[in-house]
A and B are shown apart, each in its own frame.
Chain A
Amino acid sequence: MSAATPAAVELEQFVYDEARLIDEKRFDEWYDLFADDGRYWMPLTRGQPDGDNHTSLFHEDKLLLKVRIERLKSPRSFSQAQPSWCQHVLQRPTVEDNGATSGRCRVRTPFIYIETQRDAQLVLAGVVTHYLRREGDRLRIELKKVELVNCDAALPSIQLFP
């Protein structure tokens, strides 16, 4: 293992910290975790090969993430006049590739996600896979892929970030 190869504990902690930034609505800090070419992807079907030729729920590059984050700060975001809140509950992450040879780490984490607004509570579940790479002294997200177990169900508004 080279000095640049992250230890499992660092990768696990990254996944926990990343979810916590969302749950605490520290979205600007969350945004900074993404590499410049990073993506946040939630496919619409199981085993979906890509997000370009098939519709996804999210397939956001950094520009679109920025639009979402800045919109949430706008007083004219009417659907958020009464703000939504969310909570990730994560299973212990599994390091599937520590990047020693590929330079790209892959970490798999089953999760439950709760999003609430007013009296409504939406519960989603699935598996999140983080594709991470070392940039200088920090890890950055190349791809956060969120696979919902009910990705093809009729879903109500999902306003934050599972």
Chain B
Amino acid sequence: MKRYRDDAEAVRSLVREDCVHRDVYLSPEIFELEMRHLWRNTWIYVGHDSQVPDAGDYYTTELARQPVIMLRDAEGGIRVLMNRCAHKGATLVSAREGHCEGGLLRCPYHGWTYRLDGSIRTIPAKSGYDGTALATSSAAAGIAPVRNVAIHRGFVFARLSEEGPGFHEYFGDALSSIDNMADRSPVGRLEVAGGVLRYLHDSNWKMFVENLNDTMHPMVSHESAAGTSKKLWAGHPEDEPKPMAIEQFLPFVNGYEFFDKMGVRIYDNGHSYTGVRYSIHSAYAAIGDYERIMEASYGEERARRILGEVRHNTVYYPSLTIKGAIQSIRVARPVSHDRTVLESWTFRLVGAPDSLLQRTVLYTRLINAPTSIVGHDDQHNYHAIHEGLATDGNEWVSLHRNHSAAESGGISGDYNGLSEVSMRGQYRAWARFMTLDMPGARS
């Protein structure tokens, strides 16, 4: 059944200013259109340049379900290439990461080889193409590149569509959260470290992305995880240093006032962060002589400003969410309308004590792993929404909390933390980038 394809008006009708139609989560057709439009017209996270330190190093992933290769070319630049042999179409590399021997990509099927810029180097028994039109065919161009690639502080993003918003136009000041994460290294540099958790969710990718700045859920969803930790720690003196795990669990059951006052900042195009004033990471104990190292590197005032910016979650709509304060990120890799792989990556702050890496490794295991008791309750609720929305009687999902008519003029700005404004901002972007290249799109 085709209800939405090439029909910008029908797609836009799913999003009202303060609610969305259930089809945005439930419809396989909408999911296909998201992959074809929203996830091609926007800037998607690919990887971090520290994953491919040397010329010829590669890392493979998917963008909007298309396999791609991120590699370091011979000149030291980062390229993103479609993982497809120009000849018969096989993926060129299937390992998650590796190194191109001899500076060449070689197709495992018929042995065509390519330079690191994607151009064809050799074709076996090439005389078989004499007198054919190969040279003027699409195969002759070599591996198709992803032309629109941008790197910010090592974070590599790509836009699959030829036309669309520029990188800085798209993210704007939301990039300040990435800056803050990188600035927390005394030398301003991050390195991927500590491995990647991959958690398979039986739910739509937007359930996760919307949840990141949903501050009404922690004290409810995570009562059993964080509340139990609180109960087990009760009775210890206030000034007794808490084990890091307890320190990380406890703020999840802070009250509504805590989350409301932390605030949320909304940017155009679906981006936002909670924790404008403070966050669940603000009360963590100082680590070793890290602050002193930062002061030595940046000067006292700037070091204090960097470390005083303790944001909660920043959403780089639609694919990436980050926690700059603890150097972890999560990446949504949509599989189908009700299936998503969520990757959790951690970073080392180059030049900082190892205990900072240990802190983020602990946090990501406690909160983001398939074995996480926090993750279990989140995942349960995401899936429960799929089941609940299948019911007749109410086809709309409410996003009314703290909605104001003033938002229709423009949504960027600061709001109270408990507001559902981050989701309203995401759907505003959703409707725009879903229909940007559809017939009948508004300019």
Q: Distance (Å) between the CB of B388 and the closest chain A CB?
A: 13
- A interface residues, tally (CB under 8 Å): 34
Separation of A70 and B230 alpha carbons in the complex (Å): 11
Contact A63 B198 (CB under 8 A): no
Contact A77 B377 (CB under 8 A): yes
B194 interface residue, CB < 8 Å from A?
Answer: yes
Interface locus among B48-56, B204-212, B217-225, B431-439: B217-225
* Interface hits, A49-102 → B, CB 8 Å: 52-59, 63-64, 66-68, 70-71, 74, 76-81
Contact of B358 among A53, A64, A71 (CB under 8 A): A53
A153 interface residue, CB < 8 Å from B?
Answer: yes
With A45-B195, A156-B202, A157-B375 known as contacts, the answer to whether A76 contacts B223 (CB < 8 A) is yes
Contact A55 B198 (CB under 8 A): no
Chain B binding site: helix, strand, loop or mixed by DSSP? Answer: helix
A21 interface residue, CB < 8 Å from B?
Answer: no
B200 interface residue, CB < 8 Å from A?
Answer: yes
With A59-B365, A78-B221, A79-B380 known as contacts, the answer to whether A153 contacts B232 (CB < 8 A) is no
Note all chain A residues with C-beta closer than 8 A to B229: 67
Contact of B371 among A42, A53, A154 (CB under 8 A): A42
Q: Distance (Å) between the CB of B290 and the closest chain A CB?
A: 16
Contact B227 A74 (CB under 8 A): yes
Contact A71 B373 (CB under 8 A): yes
Contact A57 B371 (CB under 8 A): yes
Q: Distance (Å) between the CB of A112 and the closest chain B CB?
A: 18
Contact A70 B228 (CB under 8 A): yes
* Interface hits, B222-249 → A, CB 8 Å: 223-225, 227-229, 231-232, 243, 245-246, 249
Note all chain A residues with C-beta closer than 8 A to B373: 67-68, 71, 77
B30 interface residue, CB < 8 Å from A?
Answer: no
B199 interface residue, CB < 8 Å from A?
Answer: yes
A3 interface residue, CB < 8 Å from B?
Answer: no
Note all chain B residues with C-beta closer than 8 A to A152: 198
- B interface residues, tally (CB under 8 Å): 43
A33 interface residue, CB < 8 Å from B?
Answer: no
Contact A78 B358 (CB under 8 A): no
Contact of A67 among B197, B228, B358 (CB under 8 A): B228
Q: Distance (Å) between the CB of A130 and the closest chain B CB?
A: 19
Note all chain A residues with C-beta closer than 8 A to B376: 79-80, 157, 159
Separation of A80 and B232 alpha carbons in the complex (Å): 20
A44 interface residue, CB < 8 Å from B?
Answer: yes
Contact B379 A79 (CB under 8 A): yes
* Binary contact readout B246-267 vs A (1 if CB under 8 angstroms, 0 otherwise): 1001000000000000000000
A149 interface residue, CB < 8 Å from B?
Answer: no
Contact of B232 among A42, A70, A79 (CB under 8 A): A70
B341 interface residue, CB < 8 Å from A?
Answer: yes
Contact A56 B365 (CB under 8 A): yes
A158 interface residue, CB < 8 Å from B?
Answer: yes
Q: Distance (Å) between the CB of A56 and the closest chain B CB?
A: 6
A155 interface residue, CB < 8 Å from B?
Answer: yes
Separation of A52 and B244 alpha carbons in the complex (Å): 12
* Smallest CB gap from A59: residue in B: B365
With A78-B377, A78-B380, A156-B202 known as contacts, the answer to whether A53 contacts B228 (CB < 8 A) is no
Separation of A74 and B244 alpha carbons in the complex (Å): 23
Note all chain A residues with C-beta closer than 8 A to B224: 71, 74, 76-78
- Residues in A lying within 8 Å of B, measured CB to CB: 42, 44-45, 48, 52-59, 63-64, 66-68, 70-71, 74, 76-81, 152-159
User: 16 A-B Cβ contacts within 8 A?
Assistant: A44-B197, A55-B196, A55-B361, A55-B365, A59-B365, A63-B232, A68-B373, A70-B232, A74-B227, A77-B224, A78-B221, A78-B380, A80-B376, A154-B198, A155-B198, A155-B199
- Residues in B lying within 8 Å of A, measured CB to CB: 193-202, 221, 223-225, 227-229, 231-232, 243, 245-246, 249, 341, 344, 346, 354, 357-358, 361, 364-366, 369-371, 373, 375-377, 379-381
Q: Which 4 A-B pairs have the closest CB atoms?
A: A79-B380, A154-B198, A79-B376, A77-B224
